[in-house]
């Protein structure tokens, strides 16, 4: 079966971002960018399914600026076969618009498995996979920690608040990955070289009939309230005393 | 303003997270209806009817909603949405699973994890693992949003007298099926609602040591137990105990972080706690920067000493 994996170019998970002084957003100039960590897990899962013989082709798609082709190339270096970049301004697109573009791609490519990260670590929305499921009328296995494909059914073990839940979905199925699904591999140098030669198509949102901009307007972006500096206590006695008499929490 | 709140429940009891969502709904203002979608969930509907400030409870009781599969419940919400200006749910795995799907069925954008109500259509929400707070305004006809429970004080569970109405509608998408679940049993308070949380990280060394060191402390304080991702990945404790950007968000009165370095992703889940205590052998650990009190020492001696002195 064919697998489609959606990846997003986001600020690297280890970067501590700063809010711009004019409160218009977060300053991303000269900041290291990477594949969203959850999406990397989605790529890895698709590659593992291909290695098992379940998946025959992996198409990786990214929607974002021209530079997002770096992330598509990274995904191809990990084992994806070809890429589609939908060039668009991230600021215009909300989760709903992204889901609509992905719907267009799914209709064109007809994958049986659609893998996405459960959330992007920049907007922390956790919406696109679910929205795509609705638009396609496909089942969703969100927050997946185990994926098993048998015939035209997919069993997904999901991380839910009380523990784990397993559901079975008809294909085409949407899977959004949780951190524990797998440990993504590193791309080997020869694979990075090979990835440069893999096909990469460029499209626009209009190619999929999506021209609207998000109806969620960001009014301002502020830094979170600072916590006041704490104190180092020298002994357990001092700690107990502070908690009882100063903080009064025990 | 007319607000529909999706109840969190397990078909038997109403989850407290619903009370925080109702509190957010009250800040928006207007008529509040709670939707209970489940199977054999009359008791949940009765409990929802007693929640302060709620005017109506809709009970959709059918086997197709037993495990609240998103494919079925989102379809139900989309059908019921007419006439509501807002559809709210808790920022739980359930709310996050269902509401975006419902929003897309209604062709509206959705807001995840609101932490403040600035106006009927304007909300604050954290982005970048809580390192920035965005104020967003929705221009949609229906506002669909999940609510971060720890940001709103729960309304009273008693005192209301809403009417319960049955919803006859049965939405079965028939594209997904519940197979099984594995729920972690615990005698301790629920993590996201606890007044005190004791969390362990990689520094505790092993699952055995986690329980040996942290159980007595949690027992003594009547605290819930949490963990960093490192502790979960190392298999010390199950993953539903993970606190952080990708786990649970907590904001207790007291958060005690033991053997946790304090990665950005962990801080995102606990830095709104009222008082933070860090016990760590590393003087340079980032957790100390957000801690109100930090003690440098070996957790294996410090924690038992703390237990004995409480």
Spatial distance between the Cα atoms of A113 and B42, rounded to a whole number of angstroms: 38
Distance from CA of A64 to the nearest CA of B (A): 18
In this prediction, residue B184 carries a pLDDT of: 86
B126 and A178 within 8 Å at the Cβ level: the answer is no
Check if the beta carbon of residue A39 is closer than 8 Å to that of residue A117.
yes
In this prediction, residue B186 carries a pLDDT of: 85
Q: Is the pLDDT of residue A75 over 90?
A: yes
Percent of chain B with pLDDT over 90: 97
B94 and A161 within 8 Å at the Cβ level: the answer is yes
Q: Which chain B residues in 26-65 lie under 8 Å from chain A, judged by CB atoms?
A: none
B183 and A221 within 8 Å at the Cβ level: the answer is no
Distance from CA of A91 to the nearest CA of B (A): 13
Q: What are phi and psi of B29, to 5 degrees?
A: 90, 145
Distance from CA of A236 to the nearest CA of B (A): 6
Check if the beta carbon of residue A118 is closer than 8 Å to that of residue A142.
yes
CB proximity B305 to A under 8 Å: yes
- DSSP annotation of A132: H
**Which residues on chain B are in Cβ contact (under 8 Å) with A236?**
295, 302, 305-306, 309
Tokens standing for residue A79: 């084992």
Average pLDDT value for residue range A58-77: 98
Distance from CA of B185 to the nearest CA of A (A): 8
Across the A/B interface, how many CB contacts are shorter than 8 Å? 253
Q: What average pLDDT is seen over chain A?
A: 96
**Which residues on chain B are in Cβ contact (under 8 Å) with A216?**
109, 111, 136-140
Q: Where are the alpha helices (DSSP H) in chain B?
A: 17-28, 42-49, 70-80, 93-105, 207-221, 229-233, 264-267, 287-290, 299-309
In this prediction, residue A187 carries a pLDDT of: 96
Q: Is the pLDDT of residue A8 over 90?
A: yes
B265 and A13 within 8 Å at the Cβ level: the answer is yes
Whose tokens are 């679910």? That residue is A130
Distance from CA of B154 to the nearest CA of A (A): 19
In this prediction, residue A105 carries a pLDDT of: 98
Percent of chain A with pLDDT over 90: 94
CB proximity B190 to A under 8 Å: no
Give the predicted TM-score (pTM) of the model: 0.96
DSSP B169-183: ------SEEEEEEEE
Spatial distance between the Cα atoms of B178 and B159, rounded to a whole number of angstroms: 36
CB proximity A117 to B under 8 Å: no
CB proximity A155 to B under 8 Å: yes
B135 and A96 within 8 Å at the Cβ level: the answer is no
CB proximity A119 to B under 8 Å: yes
Ranges of residues in chain B whose predicted pLDDT is under 50: none
A162 and B132 within 8 Å at the Cβ level: the answer is no
* Sign (positive or negative) of CA dihedral A172, A177, A181, A186: positive
Question: pLDDT grade, residue A250 (50/70/90)?
Answer: confident
Q: What percentage of chain B's residues is helix, strand, coil (to nearest 5)?
A: 35, 30, 40
B179 and A167 within 8 Å at the Cβ level: the answer is yes
**Which residues on chain B are in Cβ contact (under 8 Å) with A247?**
254, 274-275, 292-293
Question: pLDDT grade, residue A213 (50/70/90)?
Answer: very high
Tokens standing for residue B66: 């037993």
Among partner residues A131, A180, A249, which is closest to B275 by beta-carbon distance? Answer: A249
In this prediction, residue B118 carries a pLDDT of: 98
B137 and A219 within 8 Å at the Cβ level: the answer is yes
Tokens standing for residue B222: 């009547």
C-alpha angle A205-A206-A208 in degrees, rounded to nearest 5: 75
Long-range contacts of A212-216 (CB under 8 A, 24+ apart): A212/A97, A213/A92, A213/A93, A213/A97, A214/A92, A214/A93, A214/A94, A214/A96, A214/A97, A214/B109, A215/A94, A215/B108, A215/B109, A215/B138, A215/B139, A215/B140, A216/A94, A216/B109, A216/B111, A216/B136, A216/B137, A216/B138, A216/B139, A216/B140
Average pLDDT value for residue range A18-33: 96
Model pLDDT for residues B36-56, shown as the tens digit of each residue: 999 999 999 999 999 999 999
Q: Is the pLDDT of residue A55 over 90?
A: yes
In this prediction, residue A84 carries a pLDDT of: 98
Average pLDDT value for residue range A190-198: 97
Q: Distance between the two ends of chain B, CA-based, in angstroms?
A: 49
Spatial distance between the Cα atoms of B161 and B244, rounded to a whole number of angstroms: 37
**Which residues on chain A are in Cβ contact (under 8 Å) with B188?**
none
B140 and A215 within 8 Å at the Cβ level: the answer is yes
Of A107, A92, A117, nearest in space to A36 by CA = A117
> What is the predicted ipTM?
0.96
**Residues paired with A82 in a beta bridge:** A59
CB proximity A165 to B under 8 Å: yes
Q: What average pLDDT is seen over chain B?
A: 96
Distance from CA of A209 to the nearest CA of B (A): 15
CB proximity B79 to A under 8 Å: no
């Amino acid at each position: 079966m064919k697998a489609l994996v959606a990846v997003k170019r986001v600020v690297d998970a280890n970067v501590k971002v700063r809010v711009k002084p004019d409160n218009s957003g977060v300053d991303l100039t000269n900041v290291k960018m990477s594949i969203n960590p959850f999406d990397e897990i989605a790529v890895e899962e698709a590659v593992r399914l291909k290695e098992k013989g379940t998946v025959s082709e992996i198409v990786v798609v990214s929607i974002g600026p021209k530079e997002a082709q770096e992330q598509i190339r990274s995904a191809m270096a990990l084992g994806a076969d070809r890429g589609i970049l939908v060039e668009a301004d991230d600021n215009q697109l909300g989760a709903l618009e992204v889901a609509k573009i992905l719907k267009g791609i799914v209709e064109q490519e007809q994958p049986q498995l659609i893998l996405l990260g459960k959330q992007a670590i920049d907007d922390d929305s956790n919406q696109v996979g679910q929205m795509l499921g609705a638009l396609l009328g496909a089942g969703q296995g969100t927050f997946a920690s185990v994926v098993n494909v048998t015939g035209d059914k997919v069993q997904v073990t999901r991380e839910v608040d009380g523990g784990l839940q397993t559901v079975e979905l008809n294909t085409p199925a949407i899977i959004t990955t949780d951190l524990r699904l797998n440990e993504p591999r590193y791309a080997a140098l020869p694979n990075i070289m090979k990835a440069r030669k893999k096909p990469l198509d460029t499209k626009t949102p209009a190619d999929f009939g999506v021209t609207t901009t998000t109806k969620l307007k960001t009014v301002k972006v502020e830094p979170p309230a600072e916590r006041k500096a704490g104190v180092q206590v020298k002994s357990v006695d001092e700690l107990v005393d502070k908690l009882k008499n100063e903080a009064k929490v025990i | 303003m007319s607000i529909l709140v999706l109840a969190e429940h397990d078909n038997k009891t109403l989850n407290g997270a619903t009370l925080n969502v109702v509190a957010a709904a009250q800040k928006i203002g207007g008529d509040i209806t709670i939707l209970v979608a489940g199977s054999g969930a009359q008791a949940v509907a009765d409990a929802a009817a007693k929640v302060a400030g709620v005017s109506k409870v809709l009970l959709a009781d059918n086997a197709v909603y037993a495990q609240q599969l998103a494919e079925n419940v989102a379809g139900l919400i989309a059908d019921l949405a007419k006439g509501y200006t807002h559809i709210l749910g808790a920022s739980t795995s359930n709310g996050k699973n269902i509401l975006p799907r419902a929003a897309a069925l209604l062709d509206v954008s959705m807001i995840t994890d609101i932490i403040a109500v600035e106006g009927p259509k304007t909300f604050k929400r954290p982005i970048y693992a809580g390192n920035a707070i965005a104020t967003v305004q929705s221009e949609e006809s229906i506002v669909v949003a999940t609510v971060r429970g720890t940001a709103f004080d729960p309304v009273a569970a008693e005192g209301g007298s809403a009417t319960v109405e049955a919803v006859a509608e049965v939405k079965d998408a028939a594209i997904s099926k519940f197979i099984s679940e594995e729920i972690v049993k615990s005698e301790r308070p629920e993590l996201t609602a606890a007044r005190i949380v004791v969390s362990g990280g990689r520094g505790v060394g092993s699952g055995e040591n986690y329980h040996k060191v942290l159980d007595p402390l949690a027992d003594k304080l009547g605290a819930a137990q949490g963990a960093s991702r490192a502790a979960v990945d190392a298999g010390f404790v199950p993953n539903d105990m993970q606190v952080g950007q990708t786990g649970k968000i907590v904001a207790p009165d007291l958060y005690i972080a033991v053997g946790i370095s304090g990665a950005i992703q962990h801080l995102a889940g606990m830095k709104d706690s009222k008082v933070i205590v860090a016990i760590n052998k590393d003087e340079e650990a980032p957790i100390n920067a957000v801690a109100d009190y930090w003690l440098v020492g070996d957790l294996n001696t410090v924690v038992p000493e703390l237990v004995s002195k409480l």
